[in-house]
A = this chain, B = another copy of it.
Amino acid sequence: MNFVSDNQAGAHEAVLAALQNANTGNSPGYGEDDLTAAAENAVGAVFETDCDVFFVTTGTAANALAMSALCPPWGAIYCHEGAHIQNDENTAVELLTGGARMVPIAGEGGKPDPELMRVHMTTATVHGVHNARPGAISLSNVSESGTVYRPNDLAPYRALADEFQLALHVDGARFANAVVASKASPADLTWRAGVDCLSFGLTKDGGIAAEAVVIFNGGMAEQFAYRRKRAGHLWSKQRFLAAQWLALLEDDLWLTNASHANEMARRLATGFSAHPDIDLPWPVDANELFPVIPGSIRETLRAEGLEFYDWPAQPDMTRFVTHYETDSEDIARALEIIAGARVA
C-alpha cells in the first residue's frame, strides 16, 4: 500500500498507447509537427481562450522557465515558505531567471499570508534599487499542504499583483486535482481569476513526463520559445511529448484520473479523522493528506505495510498521497489498519 507520492505512479495505459500511435514514420522535429499543434490547441480548449502553450518535461523546468518569463533577474518572487518551487527545486529559479530572489512567506495551510506579502513588497518598493524589486507571486494549486484555492481565494493575490505591478503564477503540478476539488472550470481557476501563467502538470496524473507552461498574458509569452530552447527543454521528437497530452485531455481523462485520486484521499481522510489519536490539521481538499500520527501508531501502520513520508513541517506529521491508479481495495485495507492501530 504505497502512499509515498503520486510521482511514483506509472503511466496511464492511454498514454502508452498514444506513444505507440504517434510512432508513424517521419515527422518534423522540434515541435513543428502536427501532434504538437493539436496538443497546444487542446490545452487552449481546456482554458476556453487563446493562450501560449509550451510543453516541457519536468515541473521544475516549467516553474523556473515560467518565472524567467514573469520576473526580471533583479526581481523578488513571493511564495509560501513550504512551496515546492522554494524547497524542492534546488536553485532552478535562480539559474533560469538569471538570479531572481526567492522570498518565502509564512501562512496557514500552505497558503502564503497576503498581508505578510504586502509588508515585504512595500519595504522592497520603498528601498528602490537596493532591494530585489517585487516581480512575481507564485502560488501552488493544489498547495504543498494539500489545500485548494477556489477562484475567490485568488483575489487577494491578484490585488497585490495589480498594486505592485507584478505577475501572478500558479504551480499546477496537481492542477487536475485542484480543478476537481474546486468544481471550478480551468478558466475560472486561472486567467479569469487574474492568473498570468500556469505550470500545468499531468505527469502525476498519468503522464510519463507531461508538463506545460501556459501563458495567458500574451506579452509575457514573447521570446519564451528562446528560453525553452536554451535551457535544453525543446525535444527533437516533440510529438512524443504532445501525444501524452492528447491522450490525457481526450474525454477528460485527466479529470477522471484526478477524481479517482481525490476520492481515494477523501476515504483515507475519513479514517484518519475518525481515529481518536490522529489529527488532520489541514483540510483534505485534493489527493494529499498530512495526518499527525503518534510514533507508535506510525510504526504499526508501517509494520502492516503502509508506505508514506514523515513530513518535516510539524512533529509527528506524515504525508499520504493518492493517485489515479490507487487501488480502492488498498484504501479499504488501509482504513482497517488505521482504525485498528492504537498508541502503544
Contacts and interface: CB of A to CB of B under 8 A. Distances in A.
A302 interface: no
B58 A236 contact: yes
Contact of A229 (B129, B233, B235): B129
A232 B99 contact: no
A231 B129 contact: no
A335 interface: no
Q: How many copies are assembled?
A: 4
A16 interface: yes
A223 B135 CA distance: 13
Contacts of A29: 5, 7-8
Contacts of A229: 60, 74, 89-90, 92, 129-130
B230 A232 contact: no
Interface in A167-194: none
Interface in A204-241: 204, 208-209, 223, 225-237, 240
- Count chain B CB atoms within 10 A of each CB in A59, A88, A95, A123 and give the residue with the most: A95
Contacts of A94: 73, 94, 99-101, 230
Contacts of A231: 61, 92, 95-96, 231-232
A23 interface: yes
B74 A226 contact: yes
Interface string A232-267: 111111001000000000000000000000000000
A323 to B, nearest CB: 9
A204 B29 CA distance: 11
Contacts of A226: 72, 74, 90, 129, 133
A129 B208 contact: no
Interface in A36-70: 56-62, 64-65
A11 interface: yes
A232 B133 contact: no
A60 B208 contact: no
A9 interface: yes
- Count chain B CB atoms within 10 A of each CB in A22, A29, A74, A129 and give the residue with the most: A129
B230 A90 contact: yes
A237 B203 contact: yes
Nearest to A84: B130
A138 to B, nearest CB: 15
A144 to B, nearest CB: 13
A310 B59 CA distance: 37
Nearest to A23: B10
Interface string A271-314: 00000000000000000000000000000000000000000100
A165 interface: no
A27 B5 contact: no
A208 B19 contact: yes
Given A9-B26, A89-B230, A95-B231, 6 more contacts: A9-B237, A89-B130, A91-B132, A95-B96, A123-B312, A128-B225
